[in-house]
Amino acid sequence: MQLRLSLLLGFICLVLMGSGQPGFLSFTVKNGLSQNAVTAIFKDSKGYVWLGTQDGLNRFDGIGFTRYKHDANDTMSISDQYITAISEDGAGNIWVGTRNGLNKFSYHSNQFERIHINPNRKNVIQYVFDQIFQIGNGNLAFVAEDQLYVWLNQQRLIKKIVGNYNDRCAYTVNDAGIWRLYKSKLYQYDLRSFIVKKIYQLAGLPGASASISKIFFDRRKKLWTVDESIEHKPKFRIFQVGSQILVSDSIQLSEKIYHLSFDSYNRAWISSLSGLLKVDSNYIPYYWRGSQLPATLNQANAVLCSYHDTAGISWVGFANNGVLLYNHTASAFTLIQPLNKTETVFSYAVDSNHNEWLAAVSGIYKRASAKNKWELVSRKKVRSLVAGDKGKLWTAIENEGLFLIYPDGRFQLIANTDNLKLPDNTIFHLHYHSGTGQLFISTKSGLVLLDTKTMLTRRYWAESLDKRYQLSGSYVLHAFTDREQRTWVSSNTGIDVFDKSLNKILQYKTNDDKASPVKRTIVTGTTQDLNGNIWIATLSNGVYKWKNGRFNQYNQDSGLSGNVVAGIMVDSLNRIWVATTSGMNLIDQNHDQILQLSEQNGMPASDFLLASFFVDKSGALLTSSSEGLVMIKPSLFIPKKLQLNCYVTDAAINFNSVPIANQYKLQSDDKSISLEIATPSFINAEKVVYQYRFLGLVDKWVTLQPNNRRISFTNLTYKSLQLEIRAAESKAQLERAPIKKIFISRKPPFWQNPFILGPMILLLLIGLLMLVRFFTKRKIKQRLQQSAIEQQIYKERERISRDLHDHLGAYAAAIKSNINQLERSDEKTNSTLHKLKENADDMVNALRETIWVLQYQEISLTALSDRFKNLVNRIRPNYPSIAIEIYENIEADKRLTPAESIHLLRMMQEVLTNALKHAECSKITIRIQVNEIAQIEMEDDGKGFEMEEVSNGFGLDNLNERASESGVSLQIFTKKGGGTRIRIVF
């Protein structure tokens, strides 16, 4: 067990280096983007992100890019490569402004329609649509050459509202209206009627439109203007809009401004020539740079635009570095590295003087409460830390034992194997109970309880003879005291629970499959949520929730990233943080979901250590990892609950592309259909699980292989089928995922058309009926003819039988009578006459048998047996010295034809006669048996003979001939002095 645990713990401690910056994802031409100069960004209602560049338009689903470029030979392609603006109308069409006109993209046709608002400008090379706004009710507003147009979605038309060609002005939109800055006045237009609601005078800014190039509203309805009258020294003015417009603040910059946007926290993001600037609450701009940010932000790279979607993701478009995705949940995580480099951190604690302590590979560090710098205290390898009272710190030093660190930095040895206070110097975890002053020391040889006042110890272990100190396992990994003052001890073979007096009240052994619900695993730790439930971490089964003796399990099937759990902790929002060797997980009980947190969520580490969680007084969680100490601020991590919608992104029939639709109709000669599916997901997109089922063909859900999003079918049946697709971030979430339905049908060949098939079937049925009638009549006729023939044969047999009886029988009887008279008259001829009489008897008997056979069409074997037994009874008196025994066992009677019957009877007579006359036997045994087969066996104990020496004797030729004619098997077993056995099988 110790070897197994050591291997597993070694696996936990493996260092897995991350790549990139947590919370950021970068996409360039290397990932499929058409060009690295990103000029416009927009997320549509389906969830796809559209990225406009100086060389084409891109649709992004989180995994791959679909690129659209101008084709001079295709009027349904986009009008120009240079993209200036993107938006979506109420019908789901994507509107794209370019350097050379306006375009409307249809998902259904996968094609562009070029929109010519002003036909006079149709052939102008430079016709820029640089702004497109959504204005509600599915309508859009366009700005081109200082003129404002609106798209009325319900009427399906474009209407000009205001403006003249190159008569300089600036536009913006918010939920209060469309705003136009012209000269020194700000006009507010109603979003429905498009008439002017109010006109504001910009005090102190005469001829404002001549100097102000851009206007924006933030999320608090403050107006931001950009004054670029001084080249490369733009000035922002922020106005409070009320009954009048007043300047509230101003910001002076020293470089060119391209774009301004506001995130969900109303922070301004300024896209400039030298990078991305943010503006804090005091309206002080600062470049967004730092050691844990991507190089593209730290360098002086021009940023052209930014965009913030409703999922909490911000997008940054660079002039030469593609697009950068930033997940705002990353602000909840901080990676602490005392030497500003990657190294494993084992433990963390805050002493009673508010000093922070950190144990890492390189040593133990301290950060004083008044300082912001970590200072090395000792090079000792500390595995566990816990704060005591009076500023003291209890620490476990690798292979040395338990030490006490005083506020002045002194180390004092308290317990180890040398002073016999510890059974082993390998300490996994320290837990200090401030109420009782007791220190729980988890070692690989049991739990040691230290009274920090008296320094006396007490040991609990599996092999203890005293049941009061007996644990389920000696390899103790963790101890935890809940709010009810119960202490939960986690070991290699179970959990032991003690009350506040340290009396054992519960025990769950993990090596007992019958008694314990926690089976075949190692328990690594426990914690308690705000509802009083106990959460149990294991090394192979995920986690369990204990509630009043009942267990619920959460594992990979439930949505965890792995089943090897190193640590577990509850935050202030009653969410369970689960640290595994394959990443961090969050069990959100309030929203009934499990989240897997990766670097894309901002989690700066992916491999966490045993007993890795700690809590500071602010409520922040700290967890040790192979990359440093991770600080988690739960209040900042509020992920949005998203449902992933699955769509068809590409369709092909017979490998030829077809428009995307909800219904596909295949012709009879169409052999295949192929659909590519996708769900727009930009955080952990590679983990999205896709499933489909084809009702009527594949009724069970089929999970697609990773990196495969294409479904193909060949030789579909000629009927309508329903394909269903769905996607989720994990298999556990698939049951609640929305289902997309697609209808696919295949037209049958013309001969299977109901209008043709019906008459064809009717004609075929009529033909079949006539054919059946013809053959039936012919069969009846043949049966009648056969019956007539059989009747004639039967009558002829009766006539022959009658003639034999009347004529030959009479003659044979007369001969017999005459012989009897001659015997009485002349004794000299008795011998000859006696012989003649026997022959006459044989003739009469043969005639009787022949007549008897001819009287029936079928004869049962039972009847044949009875006839033969009568024959034996007549013969038996003539051979008093020979015993003849007959055994009959007929389980299922067998029917014989007259020919078969006469042949069998003659063969039995022949064998019997031969045995009586020639075998010199004393006993003859006859067996007649019928079950699955019929067989007749006749055996004597006579002198026997050699088959090679007999040619034509004993009637063997006659027997073989009859056997051949009747189709039976004749078997003869004999040897000299050994008797003879003859078997007839049929």
What secondary structure does DSSP assign to 289-335, as a single string?
Answer: --TTS-HHHHS---EEEEEE-TTSEEEEEESSS-EEEEEGGGGGEEE
| pLDDT tens per residue, range 295-311 | 888 888 899 999 999 99
Distances in Å between the Cα of 384 and the Cα atoms of 33, 404, 576, 613, 957 are 48, 12, 22, 11, 108
**pLDDT for 208 beyond 70:** no
**pLDDT for 737 beyond 90:** yes
Percent of the chain with pLDDT over 70: 89
Cα–Cα distance for residue pair 772/761, rounded to 1 Å:
16
Q: Which of 82-96, 121-135, 749-763 has the highest mean pLDDT?
A: 82-96
Listed range (25-29, 686-690, 854-858, 912-916) with the worst mean pLDDT: 854-858
The answer to whether residues 865 and 836 belong to one domain is no
| pLDDT tens per residue, range 814-840 | 566 666 666 555 555 566 566 566 656
CB 497 within 8 A of CB 481: no
CB 584 within 8 A of CB 571: no
**pLDDT for 517 beyond 60:** yes
Neighbour tally for 670: CB within 10 Å: 17
**pLDDT for 148 beyond 50:** yes
The answer to whether residues 775 and 706 belong to one domain is no
Q: Give the residue-averaged pLDDT of 689-699.
A: 92
Q: What is the residue type of 81?
A: Q
The answer to whether residues 892 and 958 belong to one domain is yes
**pLDDT for 241 beyond 50:** yes
Cα–Cα distance for residue pair 841/410, rounded to 1 Å:
139
Q: Give the residue-averaged pLDDT of 582-596.
A: 92
Query: Residue 22 is encoded by which pair of tokens?
Result: 């947590």
| pLDDT tens per residue, range 602-656 | 999 989 998 889 998 889 999 999 999 999 999 999 988 778 999 999 999 999 9
Band the pLDDT of 278: cuts 50, 70, 90. Answer: very high
Closest CA relative to residue 534, chosen from 515, 518, 521: 518
Query: 286 φ, ψ to 5°?
Result: -150, 145
Looking at residue 9, which CATH number applies to its domain?
A: 2.130.10.10
pLDDT at position 566 is: 94
379: left (phi over 0), alpha (psi -120 to 50) or beta: alpha
Q: What is the residue type of 430?
A: L
Query: 378 φ, ψ to 5°?
Result: -155, 150
| pLDDT tens per residue, range 653-666 | 999 999 889 999 99
Q: Exposed, middle or buried by CB within 10 Å (0-12, 13-18, 19+), for 716?
A: middle
Q: Is residue 295 part of a domain?
A: no
Count up the domains in the chain and report the number.
Answer: 5
Query: What is this structure's pTM?
Result: 0.73
Q: Exposed, middle or buried by CB within 10 Å (0-12, 13-18, 19+), for 244?
A: exposed
Cα–Cα distance for residue pair 127/149, rounded to 1 Å:
14
Q: What is the residue type of 834?
A: H
Cα–Cα distance for residue pair 174/193, rounded to 1 Å:
15
**pLDDT for 3 beyond 50:** no
Q: Give the residue-averaged pLDDT of 978-986.
A: 90
**pLDDT for 131 beyond 50:** yes
Closest CA relative to residue 316, chosen from 331, 301, 326: 326
pLDDT at position 65 is: 95
Q: Give the residue-averaged pLDDT of 831-860.
A: 66
Q: Is residue 362 part of a domain?
A: no
769 secondary structure, DSSP code? H
Question: Which of 637, 670, 690 is a domain's end point?
Answer: 637
pLDDT at position 801 is: 56
Q: Is residue 796 part of a domain?
A: yes
Cα–Cα distance for residue pair 496/533, rounded to 1 Å:
16
Element spanning 215, H or E: strand 212-217
Cα dihedral 587, 588, 591, 597 sign? negative
The answer to whether residues 788 and 870 belong to one domain is no
Cα dihedral 927, 928, 931, 935 sign? positive
pLDDT at position 870 is: 86
The answer to whether residues 705 and 776 belong to one domain is no
Closest CA relative to residue 578, chosen from 551, 538, 637: 538
* Vertex 161: Cα angle to 157 and 166 (nearest 5): 115
Alpha-carbon dihedral of residues 748, 752, 753, 756, nearest 10 degrees? 160
Q: Is residue 729 part of a domain?
A: yes
Distances in Å between the Cα of 331 and the Cα atoms of 265, 325, 328, 603, 815 are 12, 14, 6, 9, 134
Pick 95 or 874 by higher pLDDT: 95
Query: Over 378-417, what HEC string results?
Result: ECCCEEEEEECCCCCEEEEECCCEEEEECCCCCEEEEECC
Q: Give the residue-averaged pLDDT of 676-693.
A: 93
**pLDDT for 280 beyond 70:** yes
Q: What is the residue type of 515?
A: A
Cα–Cα distance for residue pair 946/489, rounded to 1 Å:
96
Cα–Cα distance for residue pair 399/418, rounded to 1 Å:
12
Q: Is residue 537 part of a domain?
A: yes
The answer to whether residues 560 and 579 belong to one domain is yes
Pick 878 or 481 by higher pLDDT: 481
Q: Exposed, middle or buried by CB within 10 Å (0-12, 13-18, 19+), for 768?
A: exposed
Query: Residue 653 is encoded by which pair of tokens?
Result: 């029939």
Looking at residue 652, which CATH number applies to its domain?
A: 2.60.40.10
CB 483 within 8 A of CB 490: no
Element spanning 112, H or E: strand 111-115
pLDDT at position 516 is: 79
Question: Which of 134, 167, 200 is a domain's end point?
Answer: 167
pLDDT at position 893 is: 85
534 Cβ contact partners less than 8 Å away, ≥ 6 residues apart: 482, 488, 526, 527, 528, 545, 546, 547
Q: Give the residue-averaged pLDDT of 83-98.
A: 97
Q: What is the residue type of 226?
A: V
207 secondary structure, DSSP code? T
Q: What is the residue type of 200?
A: Y
Looking at residue 967, which CATH number applies to its domain?
A: 3.30.565.10
| pLDDT tens per residue, range 448-500 | 999 999 999 999 999 999 999 999 999 999 999 999 999 999 999 999 999 99
407 Cβ contact partners less than 8 Å away, ≥ 6 residues apart: 351, 353, 390, 391, 392
Pick 870 or 464 by higher pLDDT: 464
Query: Over 898-952, what HEC string results?
Result: HHHHHHHHHHHHHHHHHHHHHCCCCEEEEEEEECCCEEEEEEECCCCCCHHHCCC
**pLDDT for 15 beyond 80:** no
| pLDDT tens per residue, range 744-757 | 999 888 766 666 66
Q: What is the residue type of 536?
A: I
pLDDT at position 827 is: 56
Neighbour tally for 679: CB within 10 Å: 29
pLDDT at position 965 is: 81
pLDDT at position 5 is: 35
Q: Exposed, middle or buried by CB within 10 Å (0-12, 13-18, 19+), for 46?
A: middle
The answer to whether residues 70 and 158 belong to one domain is yes
CB 189 within 8 A of CB 181: no
The answer to whether residues 522 and 597 belong to one domain is yes
Q: From the DSSP assignment, how many helices (H) and strands (E) are in the chain?
A: 9, 72
Query: Residue 320 is encoded by which pair of tokens?
Result: 């030469």
The answer to whether residues 923 and 963 belong to one domain is yes
The answer to whether residues 784 and 885 belong to one domain is no
Listed range (285-299, 557-571, 677-691) with the worst mean pLDDT: 285-299
Q: Is residue 547 part of a domain?
A: yes
**Widest distance between CA atoms in the chain:** 176
What secondary structure does DSSP assign to 797-854, as a single string?
Answer: HHHHHHHIIIIIHHHHHHHHHHHHHHHHH-GGGHHHHHHHHHHHHHHHHHHHHHHHHH
Listed range (266-275, 352-361, 399-408, 961-970) with the worst mean pLDDT: 961-970
CB 577 within 8 A of CB 553: no
Q: Is residue 192 part of a domain?
A: no
**pLDDT for 163 beyond 50:** yes
The answer to whether residues 786 and 893 belong to one domain is no
What secondary structure does DSSP assign to 526-565, as a single string?
Answer: EEE-TTS-EEEEESSS-EEEEETTEEEEE-GGGT-S-S-E
Query: Residue 201 is encoded by which pair of tokens?
Result: 């005078």
Listed range (7-21, 84-98, 965-979) with the worst mean pLDDT: 7-21
Partners of 631 in the β-ladder: 334, 622
pLDDT at position 574 is: 97
**Residue 586: domain span:** 1-18+461-637
Contacts 24+ apart (CB under 8 A), 841-846: 841/816, 843/812, 844/809, 844/812, 844/813, 844/816, 845/871, 845/874
Q: Is residue 657 part of a domain?
A: yes
Alpha-carbon dihedral of residues 400, 442, 385, 484, nearest 10 degrees? -160
Element spanning 773, H or E: helix 754-803
Question: Which of 618, 637, 656 is a domain's end point?
Answer: 637
692 Cβ contact partners less than 8 Å away, ≥ 6 residues apart: 677, 698, 701, 702, 704, 711, 723, 724, 725, 726
The answer to whether residues 565 and 528 belong to one domain is yes
**SS3 state of residue 87:** strand
